[in-house]
Amino acid sequence: MRQVNLALLGAGTVGGGVIQALHRHGPRLAARLGVRFHVAHVAVRDATRARDFALPPGAVVTTDWRAAALAPEVDLVVELMGGTTTAREAAAAVLAAGRPLVTANKALLSAHGAALFALAARHGANLYYEASVAGGIPIIKVLRESLVGNRVTRLFGILNGTCNYILTRMAREGADLAAVLADAQRLGYAEADPTLDLGGFDAQHKAGILASLAHGFWVDAADIHVEGITGITPPDMKFAAQLGYAIKLLGVVKTLEGASARGRMRKAVNGGRITVSVQPTLIPAGHVLASVNDVYNAVFVRGDIVGDTLYYGRGAGRDATASAVLSDLADAALDLKCGVRNRLPAFVAHDRDGAVAPIAEVRSSFYLRLDVVDRPGVLARIAAILARSRIGISSVFQPEGHEGAHVPLILMLHDAPRAAMLRALAQIRRLPSVGGQPALFPVETFG
């Protein structure tokens, strides 16, 4: 049986999961693939550090990633260092040497994906990255292979487990964000500095990679509109539930009607314009995405042929990520066994005329929570502004208060372009009875 020699760069959380899974399921993988994996080299930052798993017996342990990655007997390199500095250097060196590379590094792909894909193509090396987005959910394979015969018209993702955990507990317990966050940090579900998660930036990286794969052109993170979850309050959760909705941090990729200017000029088949955003979003409580709770992630994909599909699982953590890495190891091993280098290239730019349109053009319904002084005439003035902006009100919800007190005022607003909505909101905020920080969340009806 052919042996595939691995160099693992990094033996932290995910590396440990991969080492443990290879140890546990080595014979199973060999029986299924006809290939035996051997961890030949492990590059670590500190070889003397105590670990909660055993490094593979027979592996050369080194602090020199380059020596591990480029050792002559190595067939396949697995980058699990994380970060975008050394990881980038290592990925580039491996691909430039024509060696296949598996990576679980979302930040690396988000920042340098286009360059790494080009490098891989130039040197006939392949790059596998199932574990980079949504951990144990095989969304990369689904978009690249299973849905290859579809135009993806809608993609909605719950892509950050930390945010979903916090929102789930806020919804269940009526707790406020700071309290749940502190708990999540104690439990290891949130980082000491939670900005990357709570600010929506982690989901932004993932949404960008998924949009790129679905639409066949590289989407820069900078073109993705991002709002995090820190503006969501317990009253928002309560009012949303009363209105029949859940609030989720949703990565959204939508096709817009009409081709891009370049697409039109070149009369391309594709040339589609898309919008990509990450925002707290109200979704109907009965929708399957609303039942995605706790640290789970899910990606809902609508294809023009297949219709609606959904993929659900743990989006992070040692084992879920290790499972995805093993699936890439298997793909890479089969390619090595068959002697094919680019059966499925790392990235196929199948729509060179695609473009990301500004979020301002997106139409949606909205949930708007304002902080108003409870006195006669306030609603009339707000309604007048909305009417002038041609934004219809579908319902108004004002909890009982006493005159003169600050109370929340909830408005559910009909379908309007985001730009018009923001202009109206700016006018509303100038009203003297309106104070505080409003919450404006799109309402997604999956129509």
State the residues that interact with a second copy by CB under 8 A: 17, 21, 24-25, 27-29, 31-33, 130, 136-138, 141-142, 145-151, 216, 269-270, 286-288, 290-292, 296, 298, 303-314, 317, 319-320, 322-324, 326-327, 329-331, 334-335, 337-338, 340, 343-344, 348, 350-351
Backbone angles phi, psi at 14, to 5 degrees: -70, -40
Six-digit token pair at 37?
């994996």
Partnered with residue 42 across adjacent β-strands are 8, 61
Q: Which residue, 384, 447, 385, 393, is CA-closest to 422?
A: 385
With a CB cutoff of 8 Å and minimum separation 6, the contacts of 216 are 270, 348, 349, 350, 351, 352, 354
Find the shortest distance in angstroms from Cβ 305 to a second copy. Answer: 4
3-state SS, residue 119: helix
Do 1 and 35 form a contact (C-beta atoms < 8 A)?
Answer: yes
Considering the complex, state which of residue 330 and residue 419 has its C-beta at the smaller distance from a second copy.
330
C-alpha 329/C-alpha 15 separation (Å) is 13
Find the shortest distance in angstroms from Cβ 200 to a second copy. Answer: 24
C-alpha 21/C-alpha 23 separation (Å) is 5
Considering the complex, state which of residue 24 and residue 375 has its C-beta at the smaller distance from a second copy.
24
- How many C-alpha atoms does 102 have within 13 Å on its Cβ side? 29
- Among candidate residues 141, 206, 248, 254, the one labeled active-site is 206
Backbone angles phi, psi at 15, to 5 degrees: -55, -45
Find the shortest distance in angstroms from Cβ 341 to a second copy. Answer: 9
Considering the complex, state which of residue 12 and residue 26 has its C-beta at the smaller distance from a second copy.
26
Q: What share of the chain is helix, strand, coil (3-state, %, to 5)?
A: 40, 25, 35
C-alpha 11/C-alpha 385 separation (Å) is 58
Which amino acid is it at 413?
L
Find the shortest distance in angstroms from Cβ 145 to a second copy. Answer: 6
Q: Could you confirm whether 206 is annotated as catalytic?
A: yes
Find the shortest distance in angstroms from Cβ 302 to a second copy. Answer: 10
Considering the complex, state which of residue 25 and residue 423 has its C-beta at the smaller distance from a second copy.
25
Considering the complex, state which of residue 136 and residue 228 has its C-beta at the smaller distance from a second copy.
136
C-alpha 372/C-alpha 428 separation (Å) is 10
Six-digit token pair at 177?
């964000």
Considering the complex, state which of residue 231 and residue 345 has its C-beta at the smaller distance from a second copy.
345
Find the shortest distance in angstroms from Cβ 249 to a second copy. Answer: 18
Considering the complex, state which of residue 58 and residue 339 has its C-beta at the smaller distance from a second copy.
339
Find the shortest distance in angstroms from Cβ 12 to a second copy. Answer: 17
Helix 161-173 × helix 177-187 angle, to 10°: 130
Length reported for the chain: 447
| Dihedral (Cα; 381, 384, 389, 390), 10-degree rounding | 140
**Residues designated as active site:** 206
